[in-house]
Structure 1
Amino acid sequence: MPRRGDSLETRWTRWPHTKAKHDLLVRYLGAWFPIMGRSVRKAIVLDAFAGPGRYDHGEEGSPILVLNALLEHKDFANWSNCEFVLLFNELDPERFESLEGVLGELRTANDPWPPNVRLLDPQNQSFEELGRQMLDSLKGNNMAPTFAFIDPFGYKGLPLDLVAELVSFPMCELFIYFDFNSINRFATANVVDKHFDRLFGTDEYRNAPPAGDPARQQFLHDLYERQLKQAANFAHVRSFAMVNDTGHIGNYMFFCTRNRRAFDLMKGAMWKIDPSGEYRFEDSLAGQDVLFEDENATGPLRDYLLEHYAGKTVPIQQLVDHVIDETPFHSSQVRRQTLAPMQREGLISATGQQRKCTYPEGVSVVFPD
């Protein structure tokens, strides 16, 4: 019997927000794979809830997208010194059977298979079984740099302590689904507390404002974000909201890393999906040209910098790092899109420049009082 925990068919319709999530995944891995390929001997991608591999109209699921992002990358031939290990897991037997077939077809289509890509046999386990097995196999050693994509249906069987332990090693990153719709509905209902206790790693969700209170959504979001930071020691966490066809947030995708550069890359990918900088995707707007949204429109960043650094002289790298860490913006929006226009307009000046309105290492930006 199926063990899927949802009412969908073996292959189901791909919703617009699912495509947006996969676009984020592919954009980020398109930057992550080259970094790994050039700098480490081994890198792992875990897709813990891989699904059937394709949707009901043949659209590619995450396993194919991940593999193609690697195999079809223009620089792949230069990464022969890095072993890429890919592990796909699906609990439901029917979806697992579909996944096996899809991966087999992809392997055949890429014959001869690259020797530095180790596509492990897909697994048919719960996340908890798989995670514990992976940790036990380490036998006290560190895990290789890992990108863990944890994208289930719902909130069950996703204990924070196991997630945190699995990605507790240096250079491990997490892209995880947070079932906000269900959590918002049940957080103070005392119905599924045993699952929420494990999901959050705390019972603080019971203190959420009552249903209907505008503060409830932010409370639950911020609690999970804080738990991801504290339990797994992630320095950087960024969420992206997926708004369903009813106009409500169905889920958030949380990206977690200890590396500022990785955080910056994912923020850049998120801006490509939502150029408004609100970090959200709406099903109702899928396929439409959204007006008045421009990634180059960094007026709010300009205003923030003028206020935050008023009267200060700030080294450029310190400024860029602060923007990455503490604002919604990413590094590519700082120099040319924000600082250069500000300097041309006389709002700021700079020391150490060899050419006006350029900001290489060694330049400091001077903000007026």
Structure 2
Amino acid sequence: MASLGFFEEQTDQSEVKANIVAKYFVAWAKVMLGVKAQHGKIDRLGYIDLFAGPGRYADGSKSTPLLVLEQALATPGLNDILVTMFNDKDRNNVSSLKEAVKELPGLAALRHEPKIFCGEVGADAEAMFRGIKMCPTFSFVDPFGYKGLSRGFIQAMVKDWGCDCVFFFNYGRINAGINNDAVRKHMDALFGSERIERMRGILDDMRPHERESFVLEELAAALRDLGAHYVLPFRFKRADGSRTSHALVFVSKNILGYTIMKDIMARESSTEDQGVPSFAYSPADARCPLLFSLNQPLEGLADDLTVRFAGRTMTMRAVYDEHHVNRPFVAKNYKRVLGEMEAAGRIIADPPAAKRKPRAGQPTFGDNVRVTFPRRN
């Protein structure tokens, strides 16, 4: 019943969520097509959505399944090797999705017809995916609450090469469920029984914003413990912008996937501070795009780079690749800070600013510019 109201009208948050998933899907698929062209070892790519919904909102807006299929039809070569699997437990949603898929222009160009199922996702689904070797697959897991969502399930979806997953994390409901004995088994499945028990002893003394950050960090740590090295959350705020209502969490074992998704989420962020994206969408911020923070996040980045890379010479891209994981900074932030450090004499750049092509009155700081950090005394 919860899904009936949800699919009446597409909210701004739902549109942002769908955009993130669809944009990553096509970027991921192009990387895989490049591997196929170079090595010829990929004969299929997969896309799985086990909580797919009806395909369209009541107002006619397209939801994720249709956006993904449209990307597949528009990407050369993808239509020949893409295998898609959609599922929803609601028969009406499944019927609506089938009709919406049939109406897609050019659908016949897909070599493999989309498979659409009706069923509830539970422990049997985790066991099934854990027991098979998957082709490179991007999975989207979007339950309305926490039923069907577990660490083991996410691990099963990313265990094989080329497999990435993004899932919906209903922070509001999960936060309320952490100390609710009636849903203890769901919390144990998501965080691990030992971790969630330890969390319960810490959370009571935290303020709401501290609690939110702590829960998301513990979730990321729980997933990393299972081998998912790269975890990236994107938060959605309540309508008044006060607190997080839910998050979209990306999980991968590959640094390239993490970097691509980070750039996508950065562009979908509703605010930034000193050019550093918030990795969050707030309807209040979108309506009133005022300065959301006075944290001055770049102020500490230069000092951190000086300590971290003391005595080393490396390209700007190498600095970025080695430093940015689990930090909010994107490539443009590093280029800005390194340029400022060069101007202040804190690093030596090769070629120097005088020999680099200026843009908007300032010298560019390209990926291949070599940076020498002074040794520490």
Using the size of structure 1 for normalisation, the TM-score is 0.84
Residue correspondence of structure 1 range 135-214 to structure 2 within 5 A? 135-136=130-131, 138=132, 142-207=133-198, 208=200, 209-211=202-204, 213-214=206-207
Task: For residue 150 of structure 1, report the CA deviation from its aligned partner.
Answer: 0.5
Give me the whole-angstrom Cα distance separating, in 2, the residues matched to 1:58 and 1:12.
9
**Pairwise CA distance, 1:111:** 4.9
Contact (CA 8 Å) 2:302, 2:337: kept in 1 or not? no
* More RCO (CA 8 Å, sep 6+): 1
Query: Counterpart in 2 of 1:32?
Result: 28
- After superposition, where does 1:203-352 map in structure 2 within 5 Å? 203-207=194-198, 208=200, 209-211=202-204, 213-214=206-207, 215-231=210-226, 233-246=227-240, 247-274=242-269, 275-276=271-272, 277-286=277-286, 288=287, 290-292=289-291, 299-300=298-299, 302-309=301-308, 311-316=310-315, 317-335=317-335, 337-351=336-350
Aligned counterpart, 1:12: 8
Query: How big is each residue's C-alpha offset from its partner over 1:228-262, in whole Å with a ceiling of 9 and x where there is no partner?
Result: 1112x111111111112253211111111111111
Q: Of 362, 366, 369, which aligns to 2:373?
A: 366
Residues of 2 paired with 1:196 and 1:298: CA distance?
A: 34
TM-score (structure 2 length as normaliser): 0.82
Structural RMSD (CA): 2.9
Tell me which residue corresponds to 2:18.
22
Shift of 1:361: 4.8
* Structure 2 unmatched ranges of 5 or more: 37-41, 357-363
Tell me the CA shift for residue 148 of structure 1: 1.0
Query: Is 1:46–2:21 an aligned residue pair?
Result: no
For residues 68-126 of structure 1, give each alpha carbon's deviation from its aligned partner in whole angstroms, at most 9, with x where no partner exists: 22222xxx22557x6111111111111111111111111xx2154243xx233201122
Shift, 1:143, TM fit: 1.4
Question: C-alpha displacement at 1:206, in angstroms?
Answer: 3.3
Percentage of pairs with the same residue: 22
Residue 92 of structure 2 aligns with an amino acid whose one-letter code is E
Change in CA separation of 1:176 and 1:358 when aligned onto 2, cut-off 3 Å: same
Alignment check: 8 A CA contact 1:149 1:174 kept: yes
| CA distance in structure 1 between the partners assigned to 2:310 and 2:129 by the alignment | 52
Q: 3-state SS of the aligned residue for 1:95?
A: helix
- Contact 2:320-2:331 within 8 A present in 1 as well: yes
Residue 70 (1) aligns with residue 72 (2): yes
The answer to whether the 8 Å contact 1:298/1:333 transfers is: no
C-alpha separation between the residues in 1 aligned to 2:16 and 2:94? 24
